[in-house]
């Protein structure tokens, strides 16, 4: 099992969303504890260990540290804004 850490930025972004989206995204974040590379996740090019996973129109950007068994959620945003 991995330990999931949510950055302050990601936490603020999550709180700005509606309750329904918060529940859906939180469910995906919790599932990263068991499987940090779920079906549909994609490694971002130009990075060493940064991945993204989709939740409908939203994206969760996170980093995996396999040696320390930690997943750090960096960013949560709508798909048109997340990569800016």
**pLDDT single digits (tens) 27-73:** 999 999 999 999 999 999 999 999 999 999 999 999 999 999 999 99
Residue 37's pLDDT is what?
A: 95
In order of start, what are the domains of the chain with their CATH numbers?
3-78 (3.30.2310.20)
16 phi/psi in degrees, rounded to 5: -75, -15
Residue 83's pLDDT is what?
A: 80
pTM above 0.75, yes or no: yes
Q: Return the CA Rg of the chain.
A: 12
């Amino acid at each position: 099992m991995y330990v999931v850490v949510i950055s302050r930025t990601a936490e603020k972004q999550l709180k700005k969303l509606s309750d329904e989206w918060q529940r859906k995204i939180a469910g995906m974040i919790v599932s990263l504890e068991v499987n940090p590379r779920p079906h549909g996740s994609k490694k971002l090019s130009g990075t060493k260990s940064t991945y993204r996973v989709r939740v409908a129109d939203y994206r969760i950007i996170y980093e995996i540290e396999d040696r320390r068994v930690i997943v750090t959620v960096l960013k949560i945003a709508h798909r048109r804004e997340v990569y800016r």
